[in-house]
Amino acid sequence: MHNNCTFRNMRKSSIKFWFFIILLGSSLCLNFSMLKCQQFNSIFTSNGSILWLTGNNGVIYRSADAGQTFQNRSIGTTDYSSVTGYTTLYLWIAGRSGVLLKSTNAGLNFSSYTINASEDITCLSFIGADSGWAACASGKIYSTLNGGLNWQLQNAPTANHLNKIKFVNGNTGIAYGKNGTFLITTNSGINWSASALPFNTEIFSADLSGSTVFAGTSGGMILKSANLGATWTSISFPAIVKPDIFGLDMISPNTFYSAGEGGHMRRSTDGGVSFTYQNNPTWMDIKTLFFKDSLNGWALGSDKWMVMRTNNGGLNWYMPNGTSINLSWLLKIPLNFYTSSGNVFYQSTWNKKEIFVTKANTVYRTLDIGNNWSQIGTSMPYGAISNSFFVSPKDTNIFLVAIDSIDNSHGKVLRSTDYGQTWVATLTANRSSDGIPMAIDPNHSDTIYYGPTDSVMFRSTNFGLTWSPLGNYRFENNCAIKVVNGHSNIIIVGSANFTQNGTGYITRSTDYGATWVVVDSNRGPYPEVPAIIGSELDSVLYATMYQGNEGGLKRSTNYGLTWSFINIDNSAWGFDRAGNDPNVICYAPWDYPASIPAYISYDRGVHFTPLPSLSVINNFSVYFYDRNNLLLQQSIGFYKLKADISVPIGIQPISGDVPQNFALKQNYPNPFNPSTNISFELPFGSYTELKIFDALGREVAEPVSEKLNAGFYNIDWNAANFPSGVYFYRLKTDKFTETRKMVLVK
């Protein structure tokens, strides 16, 4: 039996209560929940149509149409980490404090049991109606032979947190978790053996088919065993940002899906030799994958109750009906006009969430992928316009920056060996203030190239400490330099010509810069080639052509030898590719149209979609960390794209009308037994809390605690587990607070 579950940190609730929800209007479902972190933990289906999903704080949802719409079946306040089943009749749900719910009538009713009150159950796996296993955060494994009525502790050789457990038949199963823990049994768990993994890393996801096992880990690794864990090999899983692989599901020994951090989704049909990239329509991490068969699958997002579905093997993924995504830009670092040109983003090779930028002659750093920034080091002693910035992959104390003077003619390369506290100039040359004059060899991290104005190219093989001129070819105005990944001998340069009828060139060297050949050009008024971008994920190169008569985006599939247009746009300037998916690209125009700061494509440039407008213009560069994180370097600031996602699984307004005033209605019926309906009205969006208190003023329930849009709302509160008496319910928003009394009579 196929089962899937995930576990995350959960908070304990001291109050146990039951409450349900009613359908209002068409197929609208309302969510009672406080839901501090709005995500599902686990998903299960036995027939591909009826889905069951569980989450924290008693969340249980059911879908009868494969995940298009949902009904709330929430029970109590337990954090439910796992749901699994056998046919459509038998269903088991488990979570915090050993709580187990069982249904034998397709979820119409549940019976409550306890596996062990001192254990937090992370995952369940059942084979048939009787045989089941439960993995715990403590590393313990329990088994049952009577459908969950009684449980026995098995002999599992670990005390490490177990994330998941899975059995494929009554004998063979796996369990895995933190600190490289991977357990295997072939005798129903009577004996568990620990498999020796080549890396001591957390195993987030794994699956097995026959004797083949694939495991997804932290740090972007996939491990493969062809002999049920006896030996392992590491699968090549290229990703610049090394994403955690939270979800992995196998269809056969050779076909499997993987997904996780940064929203990446991939499919392999040859046992991990190669991967195809799938288009995730959300801007969030993927926490769980579950495939019923080769065509029908589901993916759980990391927030907002996101449940995606596919019916064609992942070629297309669909969000729940009514889902909306609103994109907007957030200013992260303001700039004075034209103080950071070129491309000054640099991702640390030591900490995947650490990114550096330079603001004029000052270095800033973020440790959370661009959400918060702080200045580090001291200001550089020279220059006003920074163009390129690198941190040594071998020593994080060593910085290298290309910086120009305000007079638009004098440039220097500055080097620091003490994390930006002191700076020394290692190269001085004439430079215009435009472009990206410095490039690092991705194959040899100590090799750096620098292109001055009206000069030969310079190269350093000791990370900018010393420099040597290359050949005799003089470049007019260096705008972009790219060393081809996997081919250090091939260097591509884009140049500019600041005259009315000039030519900007793409020039190529195949002998490490000794000789050069012009392979493409951009002719016309003030032409430039401002960006040449590649990726470690494939060999495709992209170039932007600005102004001239041949502006737009070009692509090369033969290491820069020839180029062809994929989009015509005379204002094309900055460009980048998502660090975990080469199909996703973004380019930013320089100054036209002013309201469109960037365009994004999910199919390598076949189709482009404009991103939300900005009141500013002039994009110097694009930094596409991964599918979830996109930043722009504009002339007056660094911006990050924000995605606000609304999934119609949580609490929703019951109509499209907007009330004139705040209101909390009297519950109905009142007195009640055991359910009552509470209605309230919001004239505008606000963070909203609806809390319920007993007669002594103690909080006993929090049906709502989240930001809501303006509208009319209606929920049910089920007090089946509460004694008769007087209760109070209070609505609190940013601008309004009101309390009413209700009476429970049993």
CATH of the domain at 506: 2.130.10.10
Q: What is the pLDDT of residue 26?
A: 23
DSSP 665: P
Predicted confidence (pLDDT) at residue 508 exceeds the cutoff of 80: yes
Residues 633 and 675 in one domain: no
Token pair for residue 37?
Answer: 């972190």
Residues 551 and 423 in one domain: yes
Distance CA 3, CA 625 (A): 33
Residue 614, H or E segment: none
Residues 639 and 676 in one domain: no
Domain final position from 595, 617, 646: 646
Residues 443 and 387 in one domain: yes
The percent of residues above 90 in pLDDT, for the chain, comes to 72
Residues 378 and 447 in one domain: yes
Q: CB under 8 Å to 696, separation ≥6 — which residues? A: none
- Mean pLDDT to the nearest integer, 354-365: 95
Q: HEC profile for 138-204?
A: CCCEEEECCCCCCCEECCCCCCCCEEEEEECCCCCEEEEECCCCEEEECCCCCCCEECCCCCCCCEE
Residues 633 and 694 in one domain: no
DSSP 1: -
Residue 126 lies in a domain: no
Look at strands 385-391 and 399-404 and give their pairing: antiparallel
Would you call 699 exposed, middle or buried from its count of C-beta atoms within 10 A (0-12, 13-18, 19+)? exposed
Domain final position from 581, 615, 646: 646
Residue 158 lies in a domain: no
130 residue type, one letter: D
- Of 645, 668, 690, 702, nearest in space to 285 by CA: 645
Look at strands 340-343 and 385-391 and give their pairing: parallel
Token pair for residue 324?
Answer: 């909306």
Tokens 């955060």 identify what position?
Answer: 137
Q: What is the pLDDT of residue 20?
A: 27
Instruction: Check residues 610 and 405 and name the one with the higher pLDDT.
Output: 610
- Of 482, 464, 322, nearest in space to 398 by CA: 464
Residue 149 lies in a domain: no
The string of pLDDT tens digits covering residues 141-162 is 999 999 999 999 999 999 999 9
- Mean pLDDT to the nearest integer, 668-683: 91
The length of the chain in residues reads: 746
Predicted confidence (pLDDT) at residue 554 exceeds the cutoff of 70: yes
- Of 574, 576, 584, nearest in space to 627 by CA: 584
Per DSSP, the three-state class of 96 is helix
Distance CA 450, CA 46 (A): 60
Lowest mean pLDDT among 262-276, 650-664, 688-702, 720-734: 650-664
Distance CA 289, CA 519 (A): 45
Whether cis (ω within 30° of 0) applies to the bond prior to 527 is no
Residues 367 and 424 in one domain: yes
DSSP 593: S
Residues 589 and 475 in one domain: yes
Whether cis (ω within 30° of 0) applies to the bond prior to 610 is no
Q: Which domain holds residue 740?
A: 666-744
Q: What is the pTM of this model?
A: 0.83
Predicted confidence (pLDDT) at residue 7 exceeds the cutoff of 70: no
Residues 427 and 564 in one domain: yes
Q: What is the mean pLDDT of the chain?
A: 89
Residues 612 and 704 in one domain: no
The string of pLDDT tens digits covering residues 395-423 is 999 999 999 987 767 899 999 999 999 99
Residue 355 lies in a domain: yes
Distance CA 380, CA 491 (A): 29
Q: What is the pLDDT of residue 650?
A: 64
Tokens 């109606």 identify what position?
Answer: 129
The string of pLDDT tens digits covering residues 319-337 is 988 888 999 999 999 988 7
Domain count for the chain: 2
Q: What is the pLDDT of residue 10?
A: 27
Residues 463 and 555 in one domain: yes
Whether cis (ω within 30° of 0) applies to the bond prior to 469 is no
Per DSSP, the three-state class of 711 is strand
Residue 396 lies in a domain: yes
Token pair for residue 544?
Answer: 């932007």
Q: What is the CATH number of the domain that holds 691?
A: 2.60.40.1930
Q: HEC profile for 185-233?
A: ECCCCCCCEECCCCCCCCEEEEEEECCEEEEEECCCCEEEECCCCCCCE
Confidence band of 338 (pLDDT split at 50, 70, 90): confident
Instruction: Check residues 101 and 20 and name the one with the higher pLDDT.
Output: 101
Token pair for residue 137?
Answer: 């955060």
Residue 313 lies in a domain: no
The string of pLDDT tens digits covering residues 707-718 is 788 888 888 787
Distance CA 316, CA 138 (A): 38
Q: What is the pLDDT of residue 4?
A: 42
Task: Please check whether residue 24 is in contact with residue 654, taking contact to mean a CB–CB distance below 8 angstroms.
Answer: yes
- Mean pLDDT to the nearest integer, 70-89: 90
The string of pLDDT tens digits covering residues 256-290 is 999 999 999 999 999 999 999 999 999 999 999 99
Look at strands 173-177 and 162-167 and give their pairing: antiparallel
Q: What is the pLDDT of residue 647?
A: 87
Q: What is the pLDDT of residue 74?
A: 83
Residues 687 and 550 in one domain: no
Phi, psi of 262 (to 5 degrees): 75, 5
Residue 139 lies in a domain: no
Q: What is the pLDDT of residue 256?
A: 97
Domain final position from 616, 646, 676: 646
Residue 281 lies in a domain: no
- Of 168, 91, 164, 151, nearest in space to 122 by CA: 164
Number of H helices, E strands in the chain: 0, 66
